[in-house]
Amino acid sequence: MSAQLHFWLNNEEIRCNEPPGLLVLDYLRKKQRLVGTKEGCKEGDCGACTVLVGELQGDDVVYRPVTSCLMPVGELHGKHLVTIEGLNLPYLNPVQKAIVEEGATQCGFCTPGIVVSLTGYLMQTDQPITADGVKRWLSGHLCRCTGYRSLKDAYLHLKKIVGEHTGVEELVKHGWLPAYFLEMPERLRRIPPPVSRDGRSEERLIIAGGTDIYVQRGEMLPEASVHILNRYPRMKGIRRAGRFLRIGALTTFEELGNHPEVQKLVPRIQEYMFLVASLQIRNRATIGGNIINASPIADGVILLLALDAEVVMQKGRQQRVIPLRKLYRGYKQLDKQPGEILTEVRLPLSVGKCQIHFEKVSKRRTLDIASVNSAIRLRCDAAGIIREAALAVGGVAPIPLYLEKTSRFLVGRPCTPETVEGAIEQAMEEISPISDIRGSADYKRLLTRQLIIAHFTELFPEKMQVRDYYAIP
């Protein structure tokens, strides 16, 4: 039987028939005996298992950091998988040198993943080395013993060594990256497209980014019959068409936040995406998966509800377009027919005329599941009267909740503290939080109030301030 998978692992060409649902982490450690990639949490939180995945885009290979504990082997076809071993030189590269000389490693368990991420950062030609850039690329790494101050010092050391010499060609030229990286574009071009497997997709378990299903059901997936959507990228991409911005369901959160058309509609989208997850997870998690997973506190869904999104459900050649707010029927229950796949999300371009704000409260400011999250879209006229309003809240009902009555209440009213208090009263009638591990029902009601206030004080600081709602002298 011909090999189903064909990819490059470091400097080695791989053809194999591994189960497509097998985790990349397990494949590396158990099949290839490349144990530099560490197994930590196996939930995508710690970053110890970080690898780089290179994908051909035009004439170049673009490398992105991902957690190998949440990525199936079946998605590697046509790609370049880079582990810490694949970065080895006869001497320390600039990242390793900076970490060693600044004492930024102690037990060393997290260090391989950190080296991989920072090297991936240096490989980006469009990103000069900055403190914010290092913070962004290290956001998905936990270091329990050394702490982060020495990593900040390593950044300063790294900048002195590398200067402006970033990008694969420059790194190879200076002897900081193995020369085989220059051959990867041509090597990947020679790999034929993936072969479609037999069997209807509805009879197999569908995997998109895998960032939730591998946490919940990771042990059974290697032996399961799976359909990996990301092998067939026709559901990726963002484009304007008529009155809508059309977003492929396989578009990742990182792609969403970086796309200029999305940034036109939601100017602070990158800031909001940073609240959602680490860079490694944003490189994997898909918009479609976030919607279909139907979590009541899905960050992406809450924002999309406020943006009046529609979803396209498809089975064969048949399509249905559903307002996102009508998709959810109950806890983990969807208006989805057997065999249907969500293929696209549509945003009306008219939301670009509105003011949009997203807030999230969790035990950690970032990289955590929300206790309560909320998004709002408002358009006011010249007199300060609200003409359009859409408010959504997560974590306060069995479904991601669009506050229909509260949104209607806001329309036609002036943007004042009195209007906000009235909206809060309406919201309290619409939500039905329960007490759970993320907080009591009363706490979630309080958070809902606070987030609604935060929306208005952030969007209209000249009209109202936090002190308008509390007895602050």
User: Which pLDDT tens digit goes with each residue over 302-321?
Assistant: 999 999 999 999 998 999 99
pLDDT digits (tens, 9 = 90+) for 207-223: 999 999 899 887 778 87
What confidence score (pLDDT) does residue 346 get? 98
The ranges of the chain annotated as CATH 3.10.20.30 are: 5-189
- Numbered ranges of CATH 3.30.465.10 in the chain: 234-352
Nearest to 272, CA basis, from 282, 261, 284: 282
Overall CATH class of domain 5-189: alpha beta
Report pLDDT for 132.
Answer: 87
Report, as an integer, the average pLDDT of 48-53: 97
* Amino acid symbol at 358: F
pLDDT at 473: 43
Q: Is 216 exposed, middle or buried (0-12, 13-18, 19+ CB in 10 A)?
A: exposed
CA angle 361, 397, 332 (to 5 degrees): 105
What is the location of CATH 3.30.390.50 in the chain?
358-469
Contacts of 361 (CB under 8 A, 6+ apart): 370, 371, 372, 373, 447, 450, 451
Query: To 5 degrees, how large is the angle CA 301–CA 134–CA 11?
Result: 95
What confidence category does residue 365 fall into, taking pLDDT thresholds of 50, 70 and 90? confident
Q: What is the pLDDT of residue 18?
A: 93
Supply the CATH classification number for the domain 234-352: 3.30.465.10
Q: Which amino acid is at 400?
A: P
How many residues does this entry show for the chain? 473
Q: What is the pTM of this model?
A: 0.92
Is 436 a residue whose pLDDT tops 70?
yes
pLDDT of residue 201: 53
What per-residue confidence (pLDDT) applies to 1?
40
Instruction: State the pLDDT at residue 457.
Output: 95
pLDDT of residue 133: 87
Mean pLDDT, residues 164-172: 93
The mean pLDDT of the chain is 92
pLDDT tens for residues 410-431? Answer: 999 999 999 999 999 999 999 9
DSSP state of 332: T
pLDDT of residue 95: 94
Task: Give me the percent of the chain exceeding a pLDDT of 90.
Answer: 76
pLDDT of residue 198: 46
Say which CATH class 358-469 falls into. Answer: alpha beta
- What pLDDT digit, counting tens, does each position of 133-142 carry? 888 898 899 8
Q: Residue 252: is its pLDDT beyond 60?
A: yes
